[in-house]
Amino acid sequence: MTKLELKNLIDAAAGRRKADLVIKNCQIVNVLSGEISSGEVAIADGKIIGMGAAEYDGEKIFDAGGKFLAPGFIDGHIHIESSYISPEQLGRIIVPCGTTTIIADPHEIANVCGLDGMRYMLEAAKHTKLNIIQAMPSCVPATPFEDAGAVIEAADMKELLADENFFGLGEFMNAPGIINCDDKALDKILLAHNMGKLIDGHAPNLTGKDLNAYLSAGVGGDHECTTVEEMHERIAKGMYVLIREGSACHNLRTLIKGVTTLNSRRVLLCSDDCQPKTILELGHMNKNVRMCVEEGLDPITAIQLATINAAESVGIYDRGIIAIGAHADLILLDDLKNFRVSDVWIGGEHVAENGKYLPEIIPADISSVRGSVRVKNFSVDRLKLNLTRGKVNVIGIEPGGVVTKKIIADVQFDAAGDFIFNPAQDICKVAVIERHHETGKIGLGLLSGYGIKRGAVAVSVAHDSHNIIAAGVSNEEIFCAVEALIKMEGGMVLVKDGKIISVIPLMIGGLMSDLSGEELKRKLDNLHAKAHAELGISADVEPVMTLTFMSLPVIPELKLTARGLFDYSTFNFIPLEV
């Protein structure tokens, strides 16, 4: 800011010159004082310069009609890539929901395209009015037991981590690495500390001394709580707890019961992974705030969880509030029950009205993140198992989340030792095929609870290394689906009786489409309908997103990577046969 700019700001605040915008006749929701007051808010140069009863003259006057003016919502932790649309298109659908800032961890595209992927995300962020604050992916790959498209060590992080757009390290999923003082993990922790950056966490089921060891490294927050007891332990030990409610994981109604007037300022809201279907039908952070109020939380406290708490958790103090000098990210709400958003301003610019995103979208160039599917030595024969006995370890899907259970089951196999599918048993074959470096690696396992009875599903989204994951009733069906996916350079494929019945190309790193949120939703709705109706996938299972998490080894209990079956409890591979 120059001296002239500062003088103009002070003059506007003092009423000596007109404000750029004055929002009059509103009920101001003050998350600092916990009060609601009638008045107006004046804005100049993108900042709030006046508020309350004092009357300002403005170049533009907006009559709020007595509605509630609140700070713009902040999503405390999200992976843009998991929306399957680009940053520009995500901004287009969540800004009208009142979300003005997101804390984004681009570790999905970093696992595919490395630093080039993160540079693409930074550039794409400039093409949306949505404020996108980035985290430096801390675990690429998530563990040493995977095959990602890139490996990012501490030395590789320095240049981008120094960028003001990066608040710190993203979720540190390799908790065992920290607890056991792994050299490479500690190098990353020390880099963040020495650069004055924060560290986000990822600590499912961690408690007691192991949690203490993890926190002693300086980890500040966690979005993996599933019980009130876990949440309370983390808060008591100094962490921020991010209550997650997205498309795959639904923890809000359980955890909000543990929020009290004494601990609420250490709690914030996030979506983590959220598809356009969820956003367009239910909303984004406005939906999460609404759910908090439905569960009995005071409306102002609920708004704090999605504004000031989220901002402060990443060391940002000029947004998430309505205060003099704050960034003018504001939303107009019809009421504090349904949280319908009528208008949105970002930096004082009117960017959404009655559900419509107002600015023009000019997408960023995606050439640097295309052509990311490279597979070698793949054939139908390589999908065969060589069982010598029928008692096996099976990945068991748990509805409503991404945590799985380890099941021991008896299955049938043929004379050559290959698994025989039995639709009455609800166990199918699942495969993870390395797609980054043509290593030819294929991990094979068995999956329970998916419900598939016919055909196969293949996706180039497979958290977090994002190889190809496929599940189906036969080797031939899986092979057909994977071959189609390879030819279209990434996406989602459904196959039935050897024929392709639904496809969605994802040309941006094999993770995201260039379609609008509405267009992608229509295609996903169609794909989901066919997955349930024609393939028989269980009605309570999200057929794509659920499958994409079956390869994430940092989530309990049993997962599959391109190297084989991985047991979270021992943090090592185990054989398929028991």
Give pLDDT tens digits for 36-78.
Answer: 999 999 999 999 999 998 899 999 999 999 999 999 999 999 9
CATH of domain 3-66: 2.30.40.10
The pairing of beta strand 47-52 with beta strand 58-63:
unpaired
Question: How far is Cα 255 from Cα 362, in angstroms, rounded to an integer?
Answer: 39
**Chain segment 12-27, per-residue pLDDT in tens:** 999 999 999 999 999 9
Residue linked to tokens 């390395």: 434
Contact 536, 452 (CB under 8 A): yes
State the average pLDDT over residues 175-185: 94
Q: 493 has which bridge partners?
A: 458, 503
Q: What is the largest CA-CA distance in the chain?
A: 89
> Taking 70 as the threshold, does the pLDDT of residue 126 lie above it?
yes
pLDDT greater than 80 at residue 289: yes
What is the rounded CA–CA span in Å between residue 47 and residue 26? 18
pLDDT of residue 490: 96
Please report the pLDDT score of residue 307 as a whole number: 98
Residues 288, 25: Cα–Cα separation, whole Å:
27
Give the residue-averaged pLDDT of 356-379. Answer: 95
Amino acid at 461: V
Residue 367 CA to its chain's centroid (Å): 24
Query: Would you say 29 and 20 are in contact if contact means Cβ atoms under 8 Å apart?
Result: no
Asked if residue 240 has pLDDT above 90, the reply is: yes
* Domain spans, the chain: 3-66, 72-316, 370-573
**Of 159-163, 456-460, 528-532, the least confident:** 159-163
The helix/strand count (H/E) of the chain reads as 16, 30
Q: How many CB atoms lie within 10 A of CB 557?
A: 18
> For residue 520, which amino acid is it?
L
| Average of per-residue pLDDT across 356-385 | 96
Burial classification of residue 153, based on how many CB atoms lie within 10 Å of its CB (0-12 exposed, 13-18 middle, 19 or more buried): exposed
Q: Is the pLDDT of residue 514 over 70?
A: yes
- Measure CA 250 to chain center: 13
DSSP one-letter code for 39: E
Residue of higher predicted confidence among 556 and 309: 309
CA dihedral angle for residue 224, residue 226, residue 229, residue 230, rounded to 10 degrees: -20
Query: For the residues 282-310, what does the mean pLDDT come to?
Result: 98
Tens digit of each residue's pLDDT (9 = 90 or more) over 431-462: 999 999 999 999 999 999 999 999 999 999 99
What is the distance between the alpha carbons of residues 67 and 342, in angstroms, rounded to a whole number? 9
pLDDT at residue 373 above 70?
A: yes
Question: How far, in Å, CA of 434 to CA of 442, rounded?
Answer: 6
User: Does pLDDT of 401 surpass 80?
Assistant: no
Q: Measure CA 249 to chain center.
A: 10
Average pLDDT over residues 83-105: 98
Amino acid residing at 436: H
Residue 39: φ, ψ to 5°: 160, -150
Q: What is the topology classification, in CATH, of domain 72-316?
A: TIM Barrel (3.20.20)
pLDDT of 119 strictly over 80: yes
Q: What is the pLDDT of residues 470-506, one digit of tens each?
A: 999 999 999 999 999 999 999 999 999 999 999 999 9
pLDDT > 70? residue 186:
yes
25: amino acid identity, one letter: N
pLDDT at 533 over 70: yes
Listed in order, strand segments (DSSP E) in 115-271 are: 131-136, 166-172, 198-201, 221-222, 240-244, 267-270
Residue 142, pLDDT score? 84
Is the pLDDT reported for residue 400 higher than 70? no
